[in-house]
Each structure stands twice: as C-alpha cells, then as structure tokens.
Structure 1
C-alpha cells in the first residue's frame, strides 16, 4: 500500500505545451457547460445506483472496463472519493447538489458512528449494501484508516457545516480530527508531523506522508476557523511545517514523505499530488515552483489526451484526476488559458474513453498507469476524477473554506 493511498485501484519551460488548443470562445464555453452538466449527471446516477430519495447510500467509485466483467463487479466506494463527491456537489451549488451532499455526508456520519472500533475513524472503503438495511452493521471493503482519508472526510464534514450550519457535521469533523491527533502525531522523529494512520490490521503506519500532512494542515485550518480555537491552527502549522521540510531546495518539488523510520526522506517516486495540493492548501508562492516542476516533468500524452501523470514512475499515460487538480491550480494562479487547455483535454477523455458513457471521467487515459506505489489505474469511469474535474471547472478550492 502506498504512502499516498487515498484509495486502491485494485489490487525547459514550465508550461504544458499542449497541442490541443481551444480558444476561449463562446462555443468553447458552451461545450464546457454541457460537459459539466453531464459530469454532474454521472455523479447523481452513481449515487442513485444503490438507493434513492433520502436513503443513506454511497456511490461505487469505479465503473466499467477492468472493474466490471462478466464474472466480477467491483462496487466498493472509497471514502476519499465520497468526500470528493460531496465537495464537487458543494462546488456546483445547486439545491439538488446540496441535498445529495447532505445525504452522502449523513451516510459517512453513520459509518463513523457505527464503526466496529468506534473511536471516530472512518475506513478506506465501504460496500454499498452496508446502508441498505440500517441495522448498525457495516460491510467494510478496506478496513484501513489512513490519515489522509480521515482528513478528507473531515474536510467534507467541515465544508458541509460551513454551508448548512448543521452541527452534526462539525461534531463528525472534530471526531475525525481528534482521531488524527491522538493516533498519528509524531513529535519524536524529526521532521515532526503526522504519520500514515492505521493499516487494515489496525497496525500503525510509521511513515509520514507529505500528502497526508497537507490534508491535515488544511483540515485543521478549517477547524480553527469554524471553532475559533487557536489550538487547531497551531496543529495545522505543525503539519504544514512537515510539508515545508519536504520541499527540495534545488528542484522546488515536494518529496513523497519519509520512510517507515519517520526520518529518512523517500525520494522515489515523486508524485504529482504533493505538488498541486501543497499549493492549493496554502496558496503560498513557494509551491508554485512545485507546480512548475510537475508541469515540466510529469507531462503525459496518450489516447488522444494530454495532461499530467501520477508520478515520475510512469509518464506514458494521463492521470485524469491529477489533470483536474492541475487545471484548478492554473486557474487559481491566473493562468486561465492553460487551465482551459487541461479542462478541454479532460472533456476529450470524457467523450472518447473506451469504457465511457459520455458523462463520467476515467481514472486514466488507458489501462495500466503505474503509480509507483504498487497500484495501477485503469480507464474506468471514476467518481473521484469526475469530482476533481467539476471542482476545477467551477474554480472551487476544496482545501479552503
């Protein structure tokens, strides 16, 4: 399992230099609007696949291709993806989006409340049938409790509270935050920060992941603002201090994190998301160098789509989720032309991917994208990739209130 494991996919210049250039014309804007509407429809359909109305439910994370064969139908719903879906609905802002976001948020609260250990954690994934009969039992897909996952669910709760004022979401966020603080804080092995949580056997992960600390820093910053308690801001600063320690002075990129000893820097591979997320979470100029490094070194082109890949291990295929992240970064940096190019390429993947429906965004441009952390991504439709596309299209930063 990788240090960046938010979910498991089973088991010269700083610009992209894309060739698929689309000027920002009225027709292009109309095309993007249509594409965004289709992406929202995809998330709604996935959410309603295992329930309807006000029923608690979760959407499957992956659809089609590798994950759906005549003999196998993989329906697991990853908590990280569920958090992204909530955030994409909040970005959309429509009344029906908000209604669905609240139901999915309540589903994750139910999972938190009825966890077999019951200490405030949520798990890496759940099976949709967990919520068909609300008898207190859960059908857990992956029992791991990674720190980053806890923070993403917590951020979704925090954003729901900020939007709705419903205190149960703040209470759920605080339970997640207390779990992170109690179970993962490491102030004994410099650079100090938060470790990787618990694996599927409930054994502590002793590495410290940069990605997880970005998530924690953003989440705790939200809590400081929502609760008015400075303690959360000081804890956020500890997490962000670890991220700063992981930035390479020469190249500007941000390393993965540490080895299990909690001290030695892990320098291979170099992932995309630590570059994009460090900027999105902090908006600090120092991480523009990280983004520029990624745009130069992680460019990818495959299956008629151009964008960025998952890590330095494999740049032969496009990682669509990460391309959405990068589009959002470029939009926030004021580089709207480059952002539009990236969004147009995601739209191309949405329209042309082999296993597509014209609505959802695939995880990768084609099967077999090697993350470098022991996982592969496939050209299957993905709620997480679709959600990042929507947040980028709406210009909505999930790391900030």
Structure 2
C-alpha cells in the first residue's frame, strides 16, 4: 500500500487486487508508524501533517465552533477536504465543514510524532494535544447519554464541526470514546500497537 513517490499509504483494497487510491485516510499514515516503527515509512507522518492539516473556526462555512474559538489538527481523509459543503453528509445529517478537526486522528498523529521523535515532532505534538485539550474544555457541553447529563469536560468530541469522512459516514462534535482514548494515549506517550 506504500506510495513511494507521494510518501503515504493507500487505505487497502476491496477485491484483494486493486488498490483503493482515493480517498487517502489519516489513520493508515499514523497507525503504520505506530505498528511498524519503521524509518523507511516515516514520511507518511509528514504527509498527514501537511496534506490533512486543518484549522476550524467560527468563520468557516458550516463550522459549528463557537465565536472566538479555533482548533488545529487533521481531518479524516483527502476526501474530507473536498466534501460538498452544500449537501448533507447523509440523509438527515448536517452539511460538512471541510476544515473540521478530527480529534481521534489528531491524537493518532500527536502520538506517532512523539514516537518518531524527529526534529520538531514534539513541539508539533504538543500543539495538537493542546488543541484537543481545549476541545475537551470548551466543546461537547450539555450532552446526555440515556437521558442523563454527561459531566462537563468529561471526554473529547470526535470532531470540532461536522465532517464528511469520504467513506460514507461522518463525525460530529459529540463526545467520543475513541477520540478520548487516543488523546489519553498521546498525552501518556502510550503506543497501543507495540507489545
């Protein structure tokens, strides 16, 4: 799945023969680093950090970020950056923000950068973690589960604003177990893909 000329991984194959060349997701870039620890493929982190980088703020089309707030990180895939901002993500769903931050992937990237440890990686990882912590502090308030209110600042939302993954589903500014777990692993420098 490695694309040497671009320095990234494709997502896989549906038939075992033909490589899916679009969209290119974030997690194949970071999980491969975390699982393999290979210098040979480390450019995939640089690809994700550059090609999937987003900043979401209230002035963006379809952003749900409150006035005065801004979040940086990465989005889900190359298709997320090209989402149709005039059409709902799916029936009955909101319209996507092309710059919605996917906090689970942002935490993947922070952890993988810390794992790689190249020049500038730690500083970039800290900025991504700080953005995620700000999201925990300021986004996702007033949410409930089973009719019971969730405690404030308990968990990270999956996305800063509605985002289209390009894979037929979306992420929204709702508290999310995966985003929270990956944030905690990034903050603790715990790589779950290594024994």
Matched with 1:266 is 20
- 3-state SS of 2:72 partner: strand
Aligned-residue offset at 1:359: 2.3
Matched with 1:371 is 165
1:229-264 alpha-carbon deviations (Å, 9 max, x no partner): xxxxxxxxxxxxxxxxx00020011001113x2101
Alignment of 1:320-331 (within 5 A): 320-331=103-114
Residue 257 in 1 paired to residue 12 in 2?
Answer: yes
8 Å contact 1:355–1:379 — kept in the other structure?
no
Matched with 2:35 is 281
Aligned-residue offset at 1:355: 3.5
Q: Which runs of 4+ in 1 moved over 4 A?
A: none
CA RMSD of aligned residues (A): 1.1
Q: Distance in 1 between matches of 2:141 and 2:44?
A: 33
8 Å contact 1:272–1:309 — kept in the other structure?
yes
Alignment of 1:1-400 (within 5 A): 246-259=1-14, 261-302=15-56, 303=65, 304-315=70-81, 316-334=99-117, 335-355=121-141, 357-367=152-162, 369-400=163-194
Q: Distance in 2 between matches of 1:294 and 1:286?
A: 16
- 3-state SS of 2:73 partner: strand
| Structure 1: runs of 5+ lacking an equivalent | 1-245
Q: Distance in 2 between matches of 1:289 and 1:330?
A: 11
Aligned-residue offset at 1:310: 0.4
Q: Distance in 1 between matches of 2:2 and 2:135?
A: 32
| Structure 2: runs of 5+ lacking an equivalent | 57-64, 82-98, 143-151
Q: Distance in 2 between matches of 1:353 and 1:321?
A: 14
Q: Distance in 2 between matches of 1:355 and 1:307?
A: 21
Q: Distance in 2 between matches of 1:249 and 1:275?
A: 13
1:42-70 alpha-carbon deviations (Å, 9 max, x no partner): xxxxxxxxxxxxxxxxxxxxxxxxxxxxx
8 Å contact 2:26–2:77 — kept in the other structure?
yes
What is the TM-score normalised by the length of structure 1?
A: 0.38
Q: Distance in 1 between matches of 2:55 and 2:80?
A: 11
- 3-state SS of 1:285 partner: coil
Aligned-residue offset at 1:286: 1.8
- 3-state SS of 1:381 partner: coil
Give the number of aligned pairs. 154
